[in-house]
Amino acid sequence: MTATEILENTQGGLSIYRKLLGEIPDRGKVICNPFREDKRPSLSIYRAGDRYRHKDFASPEYSGDAFNLAATYYKLDTRTNWGELLERIQTEILGSYPTPIAWTKPEATKAQQVFYSPEEVAQFSGSSIFTEHLAKHVGSDRAQETLQAYPLGQMGYEKTVFWLTNSQGKHTAGKVTKYHQRGDILTKKDRQGRSQTHSLKPEGVQSISRELYGAHLIPKNPGKPVVIVEAEDTAIMCAAAWGNEFIWTASGGTLSAAHCAPCIGRNVLVMPDFDILADSAKLEGLNKTIQAMNAKGISAKLWPLLEKLHADSAGLIDDQRRAKMDARDYIEAVPSSLQVTG
């Protein structure tokens, strides 16, 4: 049988997964990886195109399709032992029958929430795609200095955890973002244009109270104005590239006066992405939020710095990216040409 015939006769490889693993998680759930010591579930199985695939976010080398899984099981190399692999799948997994393996859907079980504590996430620490990108644009020394103030976690090379940290320095929750490298550009979207983010929260907590990312730095720096951008990685990039005159924080894309309680009594500059500045309806909504912030005792105003950055970046950033650009886009294109003042 060819690889195509095997896929056709195993429901895209699903029967192979069931035969070798005996357990297939529901969509969006994970199981323990049987091919390594896995104390916490980390292996996801999902449908992609014409076949099923698997991904171990803690050990990305355990990723691929049903053929890769079988190769791991039999200790074969898909490049040098492809013929033997197909033969063993046919004879030892499928038997001699050219028809799909019958299977029954497992009984539904109550989904368990998987929570990785800061201590557990720390075991994945090492070089990551985001920290390498940061160091590339601001230098390794400046990157390390900045990350002392903005603690990160990671889950494999591609996923960065942005911790929400309270005034006592305790991580209360985390936002996991998966990055993709496209040449010199670091993007959060896959080739289908989808962003992959999710939250980490303590066991038993059903929802997270939205806080400003970086808010733990506000009481430590009583004299500095606070800047609120949209994305967590933008806050870190601005802090690293443009020095310590401001406290750089991020709304995570959702800004309200209630989220900004740590800013009461402080001067605050709100710097939205350019698509907000270019959309009158969105800009009107943001101005209403700023008014609500002022009503709560926060001295807030819109900081249209991005309008200058947008104009200065003509010819340096492609027009499609410029239409939605934020300060991180500018820093990546023109890393050291701007002195930022409020």
The DSSP line for 16-50 is: HHHHHHS--PPTT--B--TTS--SS--EEEEEETT
Residue in 206, 207, 198, 158 with CA at minimum distance from that of residue 182: 158
Mean pLDDT value across residues 293-322 = 83
d(CA 235, CA 255): 14
CA 339 to chain centre: 29
Q: Is the pLDDT of residue 124 over 70?
A: no
- Give the highest mean pLDDT range of 2-6, 127-131, 205-209: 2-6
Residue in 209, 205, 200 with CA at minimum distance from that of residue 259: 209
Burial class (CB in 10 A: 0-12, 13-18, 19+), 210: middle
Q: Is the pLDDT of residue 92 over 70?
A: yes
The answer to whether the pTM exceeds 0.75 is no
Q: Which of helix, strand or coil describes residue 138?
A: helix
Q: Is the pLDDT of residue 299 over 90?
A: yes
Higher pLDDT, 91 or 290: 290
pLDDT at position 340 is 58
Helix (H) or strand (E) run with residue 186 in it: strand 185-187
- 205 Cβ contact list (under 8 Å, min separation 6): 173
Q: Name all contacts of 274-280 with Cβ < 8 Å and 24+ positions apart.
A: 274/306, 274/307, 274/309, 274/310, 274/322, 274/323, 274/324, 274/325, 274/326, 275/323, 275/324, 277/304, 277/306, 277/307, 277/310, 278/323
Residue in 59, 64, 60, 58 with CA at minimum distance from that of residue 45: 64
Q: Is the CB of residue 51 less than 8 Å from the CB of residue 7?
A: yes
pLDDT at position 90 is 85
Q: Quickly list H helices, 219-299.
A: 232-242, 274-277, 280-295
The confidence band for 68, taking pLDDT boundaries of 50, 70 and 90, is very high
- 321 Cβ contact list (under 8 Å, min separation 6): 185, 329
pLDDT tens for each residue of 147-171: 889 878 877 778 888 988 876 777 7
**C-beta neighbour count of 284 within 10 angstroms:** 9
pLDDT at position 244 is 80
Q: Is the pLDDT of residue 61 over 70?
A: yes
What is the phi/psi pair of residue 226, to 5°? -105, 135
The confidence band for 114, taking pLDDT boundaries of 50, 70 and 90, is very low
The confidence band for 126, taking pLDDT boundaries of 50, 70 and 90, is low
pLDDT at position 127 is 66
